[in-house]
Amino acid sequence: MAAPQYHPFPNTHWSLVRRAGADSHQPDPKARRLAMNTLLTRYEPALKSYLLKRHLGDDADDILQAFVADNVLEREMLRHADEGRGKFRTFLIASLNHFATSWRRSNARLASSLDDSVAASLASDDPTPVAQIEAAWARALVHHVVAAMRERCHAMGQEDVWAVFEGRMLRAVFENRPPVPYETLASRLGLRSPTQVYNLLETAKRLYKRLLRVAVSEYEHDEANIEAEMMDLRNSFAAIGALDESAAWCEDPAAILKTQLDAPLLADLLTAPAAEESRLRGLISDPSATFADQLLSASPNPDLLEAIKNFARDVCNQVENPLYGPPANILYYAAIAAALVHANAHITTLTPTQLHKGFTWALTQPASKSLVGLFQQALQRAR
């Protein structure tokens, strides 16, 4: 059976909602009927899509028809809609949820109308009902975006991008499982280094964000509203403590640095713009040698340490690289510290004062745990 087709909720025009929800005895009933027909035409596909997402496939059409007939038309539910109480989407979904629950319980086509207590719950400070509704909507939207991303990656021959996104992001966000380690993904995909996995992950994140923005723009057309909606999507998860996408989205600097320290030297050093392959291959006799092996060695090669320093410096200018920020800066100072402490070599033009400041900063970083001894010794030498 094919997956139910996703339909976004349209952009809300409150003037149309007010006309459709006007008193049935108003002087211009024709305008009210026209507004109601327009509103139902716009929203019925999204409401049906929402019911299908709740696995109500067999009853979705009956529930929606009954909801429209009983609550929207006969009981004039739209008179309760108030722009000051929140989104019209939330109002509709809350009403539909209430109706669908009653309908399924009684197994009949009659349901309770939207009474004052339900309307009041939407306006209350209690986060549970509205937050749960917004989270349900956000989940449906994100699942739609993820499905579109999967199709896009397969169509473009980017199976590696999808594999990394699935392993690093989807496991954590949707399945509450630890992400697949970078080293494991590199091995599975036949990549030389975890750094290549980093790059694929950044590509995947950019694609996901782009597709999410496209999906939001289907129902929010103003740029400011699009930004606000994307922020609301993130907040809707945090409000109920579920599916906290932001936590999984941000990589842990300590984990990133550890992965880099355990990575083979050659593959990553060759990615530096000024890297000389023949020279580097001559310096690295053991292809399995890692960054940590060289930085923590009692007799490191100063030329290799300078290559590590240059690699880290280049990454410091690459905002899209996961090493950007503290991990790259720590790696930069670690290479200088290792040369100073274990090779009695100066591979930098930084002054002693600048080095002291840099080593002191590195010691304050939680990600530097495995390099604390090196930086403490370097501080003594930098005085």
Domain end residue (candidates: 91, 106, 124)? 124
Residue 242: C-alpha distances to residues 74, 150, 351 (Å): 37, 23, 49
Mean pLDDT within 348-362: 93
Q: Is residue 239 part of a domain?
A: yes
Mean pLDDT of 149-161: 93
Summarised one tens digit per residue, pLDDT across range 78-100 is 666 666 666 666 677 777 777 77
Task: Determine what percent of the chain falls in helix, strand and coil, rounding each to the nearest 5.
Answer: 70, 0, 30
Q: Which residue has the higher pLDDT, 186 or 104?
A: 186
Which of 124, 154, 182 represents a domain boundary (last residue)? 124
- Of all residues in the chain, the percent with pLDDT exceeding 90 is 27
**175 shares a domain with 95:** no
Note whether residue 173 is domain-resident.
Answer: yes
Q: Are both 41 and 137 inside the same structural domain?
A: no
Give buried/exposed letters for 351-360 (b at 16+ CB in 10 A, else e): eeeebbebbe
Of 100, 124, 148, which residue sits at a domain end? 124
- Domain presence at residue 5: no
The verdict on 113 and 177 lying in the same domain is: no
Average pLDDT estimate for 127-138: 57
- Which of 110, 111, 113, 129 shows the shortest CA–CA distance to 121? 129
For the CA atoms of the chain, what is the radius of gyration? Answer: 29
Range of the domain at 86: 14-124
246 and 260 in a single domain? The answer is no
For 193-205, write each residue's pLDDT tens digit: 888 888 888 888 8
Please state the φ and ψ torsions of residue 264, each to the nearest 5 degrees. -60, 140
Residues facing 264 on adjacent strands: 290
Within-domain flag for 334: yes
Domain count, the chain: 3
In a domain, 310, yes or no: yes
Same domain, 259 and 377: yes
Question: Residue 118: pLDDT above 50?
Answer: no
In the block, residue with structure tokens 């949820």: 97
Whether 72 and 23 share a structural domain: yes
Residue 316 has pLDDT above 70, yes or no: yes
Q: Clarify whether residues 72 and 183 are in a common domain.
A: no
pLDDT at 133 over 50: yes
Whether residues 188 and 237 fall in one domain: yes
DSSP state letter for 241: T
pLDDT 10s digits, 369-382 = 999 999 999 999 87
Residues 58 and 147 in one domain: no
Residue 345 binned pLDDT confidence (cut-offs 50, 70, 90): very high
Residues 85 and 180 in one domain: no
pLDDT at 106: 64
Is residue 2 included in any domain, yes or no? no
